[in-house]
Structure 1
Amino acid sequence: MHSLRLLTLSNGAHLLLKGSPSSRTALLRHERTFLETEAQFLTLLAQSANPCIPQLYHYDPHGRLWGSAYLIRQYMEGKSLSEMEGGLTSRQRDGIDRHLGFLLSAIGQNAAPGFGSLQQVALGAGRPSWREAFCALFEGILRDAEDTFIHLPYSEIRHELSRLSPALESVSLPRLVVVDFGRPSHVLVNEESGQLSGVVDFSSAVWGDVLMAEIFANASPAVLQGAGMAMSRTREENIRLVLYACYRLVSQITVQYYRNRDETSEFDARRRLTTTIAEMTRLNLA
């Protein structure tokens, strides 16, 4: 979606230029601020100097030199986990998961006065509750789907979201979370050591619940250990995880109609959405 260019400096060092999507690219509502979100995230994390998070060198929201908004960040070495995972030992994979859990926890140590997008909170317009912020985020993707006349059980999804959303009230402190965190294509692995070398793409960051990170959709014991979390979940946490799963699946289906459609991926997401909605109907708050 975003244009990526590798820049090589005279001293041989590499940088990565990430540009805005083409004006002809149809974007979901929450995707319209992805580049700005990533720049804000990297600015927030700059002081941590974590070697697995790239340093931001420049962000130009007006695109004076490039013609559209762009950022320049540190180039991260490594091969994506999606390419590497078949050749990793169980010990190497546990090490990566443990490191990802630790990194997720470190990111979540950053807190804000309000919930919602990084832009809203920076402007003092954050939501007072995670329940309100998440429901607004979910409603946005549902409207994206409706705009494209995608066949989905909208009424049932909205009903279950409304019924189960009180479970979100237990999230009282807005923490920094990358919604797509842990996605194999965003995780970089050192080809020689099999260890985590970096994480890229923080454009989905929000101030909210750390459990919304994609890595918790099916977290291994090593992830939970690295994050310092208990192996079991409370009733409210399980409800929140199912709500987040539903959101992700609706997003996965909707994006198929805004990009090059992959019918196999769409069918799989629809099948899992049906299962998730059925699970939601069986859940009770008390």
Structure 2
Amino acid sequence: MHLPPLDVAVYPVATMSRGSYSSRPIRPSSIASSTSSSSSASSRSCTASPDFPSIQKVIRSVFRSSSIKVLQAERLQGQLHQVYLSKLADGSLLVLKCPPAYNVRLLRHEKYFLETERTTLETLHEYTQLPVPQVIKFDGQGGALGSPYLMMSCIPGRKLSEMAASLTTSERSNIDRTLGSHVKALTALSATQFGMTHRVFAKKGCNTWREAFLSLLEAILRDAEDMLVTVPYDSIRYYIGKSSHFLDEVTQPRLVAMDACDPQDVLINEQTKQVTGLVGFSNVIWGDPLMSGGIADGSDAFFEGLGECPARVGSVKARILMYTAYRATVRIVAHHYRPHQGIDELDARRALSYALNDLAQM
């Protein structure tokens, strides 16, 4: 399916109104929501968490009703966003996503994440039947909050990361098979240009995948240089550059959800052990489907759902190795920007070394 590029507005920098935040937990164990890593094109940070009156004011403004009552608002654990789950008097639940806290430093590719998630979710609702949150409101200036925010519906389910240890082999295979079919639906969507979503939808993307991918790679290397992170810069540039001609085999830009299949972003029904939803669509680009989350380490059941298992030889192998090196570099650099995020830097460095060594032998 082919999608025409859409125009995406760029909003001015704004800050969130100050206020205290406190509440008791809302969610029953069967409710989860979108808490993936993300940010905003229009604001690097919030000055403070929104207070309860601000959240209620925003919700009343969105639904244009002063009679709507917010019973509780809970701050959810997220890697980068400030994410809140609000419970209304009628029992419905809403997710409010705001930019990171003021002291969180962003990588170059993270600065448009909030806007990317909004655009991606709207696209998925229009062109697919995937179980993803519905965008209720995106405000680039923040209104009562004073900072950009994204309001979404809440999907029931528990994170796969919380349930993985208790799943049987059969249950996990069924989940993987479903995830494979979901990734197939995601990568079926195409656009007219390659690159980051905010650029593609603003008709400022790249004409080739090689140009788009090398730009992504150079951006994360510059992030590393900014923080004096020790990585093999010359080797990364040389061996990926040496194999970059393989990227020219990708001629159709496809939707690539980098965090698809991340256990933190997959919601599961506790009783049926079936996938109830996918969240975390802030890290999305248009490029090679082989770069999609789930492809590099997918199980047999996953590839059954996907409909094919790419043979890891020649061009396919080289591209997967380049994407592995890129992902590993992002993890290493992100660890130095946000050392308390729980990233395993040693594992990332091992993955980078193995990928570069294999590329050197091609």
> Which category describes the TM-score, using the shorter chain as reference length?
over 0.9
Larger Rg: 2
Q: SS of the counterpart of 1:201?
A: coil
Deviation at 1:168, TM superposition (A): 0.8
Who is 1:14 aligned against? 93
Who is 1:41 aligned against? 120
Q: SS of the counterpart of 1:214?
A: coil
Q: 1:165 to 1:216 in 2, by over 3 A?
A: same
Structure 1 residue runs without a partner (length 5+): none
Q: 1:263 to 1:62 in 2, by over 3 A?
A: closer
Q: 1:226 to 1:259 in 2, by over 3 A?
A: same
- Counterparts of 1:122 and 1:261 in 2: how far apart (Å)? 33
Who is 1:245 aligned against? 324
1:229 to 308, 320, 328: 308
- Counterparts of 1:222 and 1:70 in 2: how far apart (Å)? 37
Who is 1:157 aligned against? 236
Deviation at 1:65, TM superposition (A): 2.1
Deviation at 1:48, TM superposition (A): 4.2
- Counterparts of 1:123 and 1:94 in 2: how far apart (Å)? 39
2:168 to 72, 89, 97: 89
1:48-79 deviations in whole A, cap 9, x for unaligned?
Answer: 46352111111111112222111011112111
1:196 aligns with 2:275: yes
- Counterparts of 1:263 and 1:216 in 2: how far apart (Å)? 23
1:125-180 deviations in whole A, cap 9, x for unaligned?
Answer: 11001111011001101110110000111001000111011111111100111011
**Aligned ranges for residues 35-114 of structure 1 at < 5 Å?**
35-48=114-127, 50=129, 52-114=131-193
- Counterparts of 1:231 and 1:115 in 2: how far apart (Å)? 21
Contact map agreement 2:84 2:97 (CA 8 A) in 1: yes
- Counterparts of 2:83 and 2:192 in 1: how far apart (Å)? 33
- Counterparts of 2:352 and 2:324 in 1: how far apart (Å)? 8
Contact map agreement 1:46 1:56 (CA 8 A) in 2: no
Q: Which AA in structure 2 matches 1:211?
A: L
1:208 aligns with 2:287: yes
Deviation at 1:4, TM superposition (A): 0.6
Deviation at 1:230, TM superposition (A): 3.4
1:160-208 deviations in whole A, cap 9, x for unaligned?
Answer: 1110111111111001110111111111111111111111110011111
CA RMSD of superposed structures (Å): 1.5
Deviation at 1:24, TM superposition (A): 2.4
Q: Percent of counterpart pairs with the same letter? A: 38
Who is 1:2 aligned against? 81
Q: Which AA in structure 1 matches 2:154?
A: Y
| Greater Cα shift, 114-123 or 256-265 | 256-265
- Counterparts of 2:341 and 2:87 in 1: how far apart (Å)? 35
Q: 1:218 to 1:65 in 2, by over 3 A?
A: same
Who is 2:352 aligned against? 273
Q: Which AA in structure 1 matches 2:191?
A: A
Q: Which AA in structure 2 matches 1:159?
A: Y
- Counterparts of 1:266 and 1:201 in 2: how far apart (Å)? 22
**Which is richer in helix?**
1
Q: 1:262 to 1:15 in 2, by over 3 A?
A: closer
Contact map agreement 2:258 2:292 (CA 8 A) in 1: yes
1:127 aligns with 2:220: no
Q: 1:147 to 1:258 in 2, by over 3 A?
A: same
Contact map agreement 2:259 2:292 (CA 8 A) in 1: yes
Structure 2 residue runs without a partner (length 5+): 1-79
